[in-house]
Structure 1
Amino acid sequence: MERFIECWEGLDDPRTGNAGLHDLHEILAIAMCAVLCGAQGSVDMGLFAKSKEPFLRGFLELENGVPSHDTFSRLFRMLDPEQFRAAFQRFMAGFSGQCEGVVAIDGKVLRRSFDRASGKSPLHMVSAWGCDQRLVLAQIATDAKSNEITAVPKLLEMLRLKGTIVTTDALNCQRAIAGQIVDQGGDYVLALKENQATLHDDVVLHLNDPASEKITAEPVVDADHGRIETRTATISTDIAWLIEDHRWPGLAAVGKVERIREIAGKTTSETAYYLLSAALTPERFNEVVRSHWGVENRLHWRLDVVMNEDQDRSRLGNGPHNLAVLRHMALNVMQKDTEKGSLRGKIKRAGWDDAYLARLMTLF
């Protein structure tokens, strides 16, 4: 509990009077245990606390009994989301160490977090995913997809980017974001589409010109779940004229990845274009682009399908934001656990095996 409490240093307790009947850190510990066991909201947390009281009394005082679901709901609605996010960053600073490898930036909407009565739009969480570490490194919330561009610079400020390669989708292919990544000592591989229309057209013409100088890697073929995908990466560093014309911060190379997919006898193809701040080999470029999809497959998919985040109906106050951060922490703890097994299997085991759940809590 001492190490767990250290994670929440600087987090103010917003409750007053009788609302503060239960200890803040004990409520947070119960909530974390509940999420590790598959709880999706305050009602689940209340049921977990009641059914697991003997286990919880093994390391908690619970002087006033176990909290009710109203207690959990009230606390997470009232907690300052910035302080809660800062606590997550302190947790990650000691949990994962220095950022390294590929850091993928992407956003996700919590679909059930809207509130029609108050006109509140669904919460949009923008996350930094450590593709090599397979951990959530940082996150920040916005109230709309359109605000993701302004949220990403704040997210990058939370990270130490020296020696990393930051990847984003085309929405965040922006001069300010590229410049910030370079200024913070990182490199970037940014997806390029029509939102940068003139630059996109020039890159397409250059990479598809037979006379331009470029290097193409051998095709890489992956086959999984009935799908065969062939990816061919091409890089060009002969772009002095592009740099002169567009003045893009840190631009050192441009590249494209041609993908051919075969699914159930049908073949589709697409070509994606990218801006790079480092002259990667086409083989490494292919690996980096492929790594970016880890934020979809290993973070967003798990949150939606395994942890059922999109069905959580927490809508009031700061609840959606704070519970999303709590899920990220739980996901990281599960990922840090060295025992083999799927996330779904680990969640079930935590609910069934008190000793395993206790061991997960020692990872804080």
Structure 2
Amino acid sequence: MICAEREFRTAPLIYYFRQIPDYRCGREKKHDLAEMLVCVTIGFLCGRTTIRRSLNWCRNHIEWLRKHLELKNGIASPSTISRMLSGIDEELAVYIFMEWIGEIVDSKNTHLAVDGKALCGATEKTKNADVPMLLNAVETVRGLILAQLPIDSKTNEITAIPKLLKLLDISGSTVTIDAIGTQTAIMNQIHEQGGHFVLTVKNNQPEACEEIHAVMDRLERETAKKKKGERLDPVLRESLKNYEEVSRTEKNRDRYEHRTYQICGDVSWLTKSQEEWNMVKSIGRIKQVRVPVERDKEGNDITPSLEEFLKKGSMRAPVPSAAEGTGKDIQCTAMISDLTLTAEKLGSIKRMHWSIENRLHHVLDDTFREDRSPAKKSRNNLALIRKYAYNILRLSMLEAGMTNIMTEMMDCFCDNAVLREQYVFQGITGLY
């Protein structure tokens, strides 16, 4: 007899919030801690992106909330919520968040992007105060946040990345990090945890960066000569057998984006591959040129070609600089990986990593107003509440087949009690 696979659902959200120890003494417990967290989360789900507005929404819907929560003393005040968020153990709160999302989506055998994000509004108003930072781990296939870790003002992302990776089971997964994560110790840790990496090489690794760009330039020229039937450089003949390049052009909003992905499986050109980086199997490069769309008075598209743009620029943009890291219209980024990749796969992985800027950072700042939040002592736990709401909204969008307009899904949660009950009080179906 063959048994059908059972559908797994998480426990209701309040179950996870009840695992957070209540640090308050008895006389202070007018409101239940877990119920307060649920109320704030629901408010954020419904588009009320400050504590005050979130609680106002809850007061206006208190009869519906009392179908699921006791709320013996009504809805707490904003100051009570702020004190509560300030007092909760941040590290334990992250573990509970990870337990919740870990029962919905697996961190194994997927693509994980690790990137830092500033909380500009939470900066202390003192001279030369550091902007608080959070390091996030994102499962890029579905755009879900798996973990966050505050970056201590006395350290930086290089020391925080290993701590974040230790929290996750990355076996079989491909981890992408910006150039700051291109460190031998981080590569070794990813390997020890059973994962793979695709990392950016910039001027923080000057020798490797220069070597990769130099060999890619030479292989690009040799490929052009090969297409013309010209005589090839015998020194590069073997490398050409392991070299591939792919070019793609697409129109994205008000610009044309021209991308070239290059990959080479011969890493003998990389000095560090013989020493510290002996796990590297592929070196590559991604070139991207953005050409702003131009139209004449009649509305006809008169955007210059890629070749014309690189030579003369355009009315909307000057001649771009080819130097790496300068200018927004042309970028040229060196890459390394411990995987044997195709050029197309390299481009796909890098684009998925870039997507977290639009799918996560922009949404948190623009939709959730995170960059404007003045919360300081409670900033990290408040950021975690936003991530609960963000993940629930993203999951509901996936199920509904909606586009990436998260504000529309917020409206749906605000207007639809059945949707709120399904995702907050009935548990969420796992995506395994």
Matched, 1:30 2:58: no
Matched, 1:360 2:423: yes
The 10-residue stretch of structure 1 (236-245 or 174-183) with the greater mean CA deviation from structure 2: 236-245
Q: Is the 8 A contact 2:179 2:199 kept in 1?
A: yes
Deviation at 1:98, TM superposition (A): 4.0
Deviation at 1:133, TM superposition (A): 2.3
Instruction: Identify the residue that residue 220 of structure 1 maps to in structure 2.
Output: 248
Provide the secondary structure at the position in 2 that maps to 1:293: helix
1:292 maps to amino acid: H
Of residues 39, 44, 55, the one that matches 1:46 is 55
Provide the secondary structure at the position in 2 that maps to 1:285: helix
Deviation at 1:56, TM superposition (A): 0.8
Deviation at 1:306, TM superposition (A): 1.2
Instruction: Identify the residue that residue 159 of structure 2 maps to in structure 1.
Output: 150
Deviation per residue, 1:125-171 (Å, 9 max, x gap): 11111111211111111144961111111111111112211111111
1:81 maps to amino acid: E
Instruction: Identify the residue that residue 269 of structure 1 maps to in structure 2.
Output: 330
Q: Is the 8 A contact 1:207 1:255 kept in 2?
A: yes
Aligned partners of 2:127, 2:90: CA distance in 1, in Å? 19
Provide the secondary structure at the position in 2 that maps to 1:84: helix
Aligned partners of 1:118, 1:15: CA distance in 2, in Å? 34
Please, what TM-score do these two structures have when normalized by structure 1? 0.93
Matched, 1:345 2:354: no
Q: Is the 8 A contact 2:107 2:139 kept in 1?
A: no
Provide the secondary structure at the position in 2 that maps to 1:217: strand
Deviation at 1:321, TM superposition (A): 0.1
Deviation at 1:288, TM superposition (A): 0.7
- Pairing 1:1-364 to 2, within 5 Å after superposition: 3-8=12-17, 10-116=19-125, 121-144=130-153, 147-210=156-219, 211=233, 212=236, 213-214=239-240, 215-240=243-268, 242=270, 243-248=272-277, 250-264=279-293, 265=303, 266=314, 268-315=329-376, 317=377, 319-337=378-396, 338-341=399-402, 342-361=405-424, 362-364=426-428
The runs of 5 or more residues in structure 2 that have no matched partner are 1-9, 220-232, 294-302, 304-313, 318-328
- Superposed CA RMSD in Å reads 2.2
Provide the secondary structure at the position in 2 that maps to 1:38: coil
Deviation at 1:97, TM superposition (A): 2.7
Aligned partners of 2:382, 2:159: CA distance in 1, in Å? 23
Identity %: 27
Provide the secondary structure at the position in 1 that maps to 2:251: strand
Do the aligned partners of residues 119 and 2 (structure 1) sit closer, same or farther apart at CA in structure 2, a change above 3 Å counting? farther
Instruction: Identify the residue that residue 309 of structure 2 maps to in structure 1.
Output: none
Aligned partners of 1:216, 1:348: CA distance in 2, in Å? 47
2:359 maps to amino acid: R
Deviation at 1:269, TM superposition (A): 2.9
Do the aligned partners of residues 223 and 135 (structure 1) sit closer, same or farther apart at CA in structure 2, a change above 3 Å counting? same
Q: Is the 8 A contact 1:44 1:69 kept in 2?
A: no
Provide the secondary structure at the position in 1 that maps to 2:103: helix
Q: Is the 8 A contact 2:13 2:427 kept in 1?
A: no
Deviation per residue, 1:248-306 (Å, 9 max, x gap): 15211100012122113447433110011111111111111111112111110110111
The 10-residue stretch of structure 1 (321-330 or 255-264) with the greater mean CA deviation from structure 2: 255-264
Deviation per residue, 1:29-52 (Å, 9 max, x gap): 111111111233332233223212
The 10-residue stretch of structure 1 (138-147 or 1-10) with the greater mean CA deviation from structure 2: 1-10
Q: Is the 8 A contact 2:47 2:410 kept in 1?
A: yes
The runs of 5 or more residues in structure 1 that have no matched partner are none
Please, what TM-score do these two structures have when normalized by structure 2? 0.79
Deviation at 1:6, TM superposition (A): 3.0
Aligned partners of 2:130, 2:54: CA distance in 1, in Å? 25
Q: Is the 8 A contact 1:109 1:125 kept in 2?
A: yes
Provide the secondary structure at the position in 2 that maps to 1:221: strand
Deviation per residue, 1:77-119 (Å, 9 max, x gap): 1111001111111111111134333211111101111223699
Q: Is the 8 A contact 2:264 2:282 kept in 1?
A: yes
Q: Is the 8 A contact 1:191 1:275 kept in 2?
A: yes
Do the aligned partners of residues 145 and 137 (structure 1) sit closer, same or farther apart at CA in structure 2, a change above 3 Å counting? farther
Structure number, greater radius of gyration: 2
